[in-house]
Amino acid sequence: MSFFIRLIESTDASRRDLEAIPRVHSMMHHGLKLDEYQNFLSDLYHIVWHFCPIMATAASRMPDGFKNVRYELYERIDEEKGHEDWVEGDLRAFGADVEAVKRERPSLPVQAMIGFNYHTSERVHPCGVLGMLYALEVIASVYGGRTAATIQKSLGMKGPEGFVFLESHATMDVDHMAKMTTLVKTIQDPAAQEAIINSTQVNFYLFGKMFEST
């Protein structure tokens, strides 16, 4: 069995648990109220802001035996940098105080997610960052486009304004997932594999908790 297949089989229950959360199910099928979407974007801002620094942390600690992972992270950082500006733009489209969002702490699950991903990159195994990438890119590519369309409908809006981040990543992360599949298949080290699986499970879990906490 390839490691990528084992990764899917080991973490798919965590993905299904995310889908089963009542507020996630409602968001995907019925949309969100305006204040709920603003709260979601506020948490999302902090996740996205830390995305590149977490990858940079992992890349800086990557052993030479995983140079291909390090170089993939360099490429991904270049592609993802500045995407927090897209979330800022979506917040402004709804009249949110972006500077206040930046000053405020995100929800407790998001704080835990950010802290966990730095800790995994620094103290467990830097390849664990691939679990963060995998979980968040599955969420974006599988659910992002459908969720954006449903929220737009529930708010009576048309066009991309206010939904740039969700709609763009629904498309971008399909390509990222294809690259991830190829990269993960090269990971043979048992410690790296276990760090990736655990990180994927924890990121799915904490992303779901974000919806249970508000």
Q: DSSP per residue over 9-61, as a string?
A: HHHHHHHHHHHHSHHHHHHHHH---HHHHHHHHHHHHHHHHHHHHHHHHHHHT
Higher-pLDDT residue of 180, 128: 128
Task: State residue 133's pLDDT score.
Answer: 95
Annotation: CATH topology of 3-212: Heme Oxygenase; Chain A (1.20.910)
> How do the domains of the chain map onto residue ranges?
3-212
| % residues pLDDT > 90 (the chain) | 81
In 3D space, the residue among 143, 123, 124, 147 whose CA is nearest the CA of residue 135 turns out to be 143
Least confident of 10-24, 90-104, 118-132, 163-177: 163-177
Least confident of 45-59, 98-112, 116-130, 146-160: 146-160
Task: State residue 38's pLDDT score.
Answer: 95
Report whether pLDDT(145) > 90.
Answer: no
Quote the CA–CA distance of 108 and 122 in Å, as a whole number.
Answer: 21
pLDDT band per the 50, 70, 90 thresholds, residue 105: very high
Mean pLDDT score across all residues of the chain: 93
| % residues pLDDT > 70 (the chain) | 97
pLDDT band per the 50, 70, 90 thresholds, residue 4: very high
Q: Do the beta carbons of residue 148 and residue 170 sit within 8 Å?
A: yes
Element (H, E) at 6: helix 3-20
Report whether pLDDT(198) > 60.
Answer: yes
Prediction pTM value: 0.94
In 3D space, the residue among 56, 3, 9, 54 whose CA is nearest the CA of residue 180 turns out to be 3
Report whether pLDDT(5) > 70.
Answer: yes
In 3D space, the residue among 111, 86, 126, 118 whose CA is nearest the CA of residue 206 turns out to be 111
Task: State residue 158's pLDDT score.
Answer: 78
Instruction: Give the pLDDT confidence of 13-69 residue by residue, as tens digits.
Output: 999 999 999 999 999 999 999 999 999 999 999 999 999 999 999 999 999 999 999
